[in-house]
Chain A
Amino acid sequence: MANKTAESISREEFFYGHKACAGCGGSLAVRAALKVLGQNAVSVLPAGCMSAVGFNFPQLCFSNNSIISTFAGTASMLTGIEAGLRAKGYTDFTAVGFAGDGGTADIGIQALSGAIDRGDNIIYICYDNEAYMNTGIQKSGLTPFGARTTTTPAGQNIHGNIREKKNMFEIVAAHGIPYAATASIGYLPDFIEKVRKASQIKGTKYIHVIAPCPTGWGIAPDETVEIAKEVVDSGLWYLAEYENGRFILNRKPKQFTDAAAYLRKQGRFRHLSDEDIAHVIESRDRKWEYINQNFTYGG
């Protein structure tokens, strides 16, 4: 029985033997993306889970060329690698960065913005596990409302994070980038297709992939993929693309699954009151109103 997605990517493993937690969503995103891009991908990893688990000397878990960058400098190092290899006459390679949500939306946003502005021919993948997981779960700009982290603890008066998730996808799109997309590791064929599409487009490409973290989200290791599906099905995340100045919605759930059930499943949201959940659902509905008005639905 042939699996179309499995046939379309490399059979080789480029991210193997790494020390990520069991059931890590981020490592699945990196593994899948590298299997699309192949041996000639040069990957850049800033401080974050994937660099911490991939380079435990002498264990080198990347079998393509990979390098750790400064926390803020993922995109600028990609720029340098692309320019350097081009100057040396190489043509058949892809410079790809894998930064976490903190490394993208907080610390690395300036370098990313600069690279998009210059139009450098790179792929920037943000694996979003919604907090600084590597250092022990601190709030980042992409932590959603209500989530409990060590810097936004859930107390009697304040129930976890009081801020909404930063709208990174549309911030990047506002640069007029050639290609940007959102994805989820729960919908892996969609993510793989987007990485392939990005690799064929010239200029800066940005893919924002939701990658649940069992440790930080308070879920069982075997629930990672299911919860990544559920966040899309419940409307709290969306699969979309930005290309040629237009927003395209890839998946439109006919009816959202129960967002409250999605939240209650996770340790980080367990403290939420009914009013907090109503707030989450209200901002979801507002977001979808905006999406329905401004995004075109289609493949």
Chain B
Amino acid sequence: MKPYLREKTAFSFDEVPENTSFEAGYLVSVNSGWRSIRPVIDAAKCIGCEQCYLYCPDGVISVRDGKAEIDYDFCKGCGICAKICKIGAIRMEAERG
């Protein structure tokens, strides 16, 4: 299982713990805003070789049913996956909006 994004809960200052007493893998903010380009997987071409999964510095790629999937919440758009993919099943597209 991957660590997941928690729901934001508002807390007042006196509720803030004095030390890091949250559980490990406690995620509250995404990295998607860092991206100017995003990887897009061509499912028809993807053979599930898992090279992109192995080399992703952020670990956002997983392979399900033989096809790669990307967690866009935490992908920073570095483009390593598109370069490592020998069959060219990943292309980088400009972020819009």
Interface residues of A (CB under 8 A from B): 1, 3, 5-6, 11-25, 27-28, 31-32, 55, 57-66, 188, 214, 220-226
Q: Roughly how many angstroms separate A60 CA and B27 CA in the complex, as a whole number? A: 6
Q: Roughly how many angstroms separate A226 CA and B30 CA in the complex, as a whole number? A: 27
Q: Contacting A23 at CB < 8 Å: which of B49, B53, B79?
A: B79
Q: What's the least CB distance linking A88 to chain B, in Å?
A: 19
Task: Give the 4 A-B CB pairs with smallest separation, nearest first.
Answer: A63-B25, A222-B79, A23-B78, A22-B78
Known A19-B31, A31-B59: A224·B78 in contact at CB below 8 Å: yes
Fill in one digit per residue for B16-35: 1 if any A CB lies within 8 Å of its CB, else 0.
Answer: 00001011111111110011
> Which residues of B lie under 8 Å from residue A61 when comparing CB positions?
3, 25, 27
* Contact indicator B51/A59 (Cβ below 8 Å): no
Q: Contacting A188 at CB < 8 Å: which of B25, B26, B54?
A: B54
Q: Roughly how many angstroms separate A11 CA and B64 CA in the complex, as a whole number? A: 12
The answer to whether the Cβ of B47 comes within 8 Å of any Cβ in the partner chain is yes
Fill in one digit per residue for B27-48: 1 if any A CB lies within 8 Å of its CB, else 0.
Answer: 1111100110000000000011
Interface residues of B (CB under 8 A from A): 1-3, 5, 20, 22-31, 34-35, 47-51, 53-59, 62-63, 66, 74, 76-80, 82-84
Q: What's the least CB distance linking B28 to chain A, in Å?
A: 6
* Contact indicator A16/B58 (Cβ below 8 Å): yes
9 A-B pairs with C-beta separation under 8 A: A22-B35, A23-B78, A31-B57, A58-B20, A60-B23, A61-B27, A62-B25, A223-B83, A224-B80
Known A1-B49, A16-B74, A65-B24: A22·B83 in contact at CB below 8 Å: no
Q: Contacting A17 at CB < 8 Å: which of B31, B35, B47?
A: B31
Q: What's the least CB distance linking A33 to chain B, in Å?
A: 12
> Which residues of B lie under 8 Å from residue A23 when comparing CB positions?
57, 76, 78-80
> Which residues of B lie under 8 Å from residue A28 when comparing CB positions?
55-57
